[in-house]
Amino acid sequence: MTITQKTEANAIVLECEGRLDTTTAPELEAVLLPVFDTNPTVILDFKYLEYVSSAGLRVLLKGQKKAVAVGGSMTVRNVMDEIIEVFEMTGFIDVLTVERI
């Protein structure tokens, strides 16, 4: 997975490309959680993300909890339909702040 960090208005954007699975989830976790200490407004851009398994959901849940803990926010945007369906099946659609493509 490739993660590109950008700054946009008042938010930090992490563009994720590829697969968020058991192998790559630790990579996102290592980048995502510390970002909230720099700027509590975080956007995950999933435009080029093609796959999420439960290991990936676990990291997103940790990120969401951290966002709440620091009084910030985590928005997941540009999510493709196949991944929206994964969020719906697991109830994560209600846990995360999700913006579709």
> Which amino acid appears at position 23 of this protein?
T
From candidates 30, 50, 99, 101, binder to other proteins by CB under 8 A: 50
Cβ–Cβ < 8 Å for 2, 18: yes
Strand partners, 15: 4, 45
Asked whether position 39 contacts other proteins by CB under 8 A, the answer is: no
Nearer to other proteins by Cβ, of 32 and 52: the residue is: 52
Distance of CA 45 to the CA centre of its chain: 7
Q: What is the closest distance, in whole angstroms, from the C-beta atom of residue 50 to other proteins in the complex? A: 7
Q: Which helix (H) or strand (E) holds 17?
A: strand 11-20
Residues that bind other proteins (CB under 8 A): 21-23, 50-55, 57-58, 61, 64-65, 68, 82, 86, 89-92, 94-96
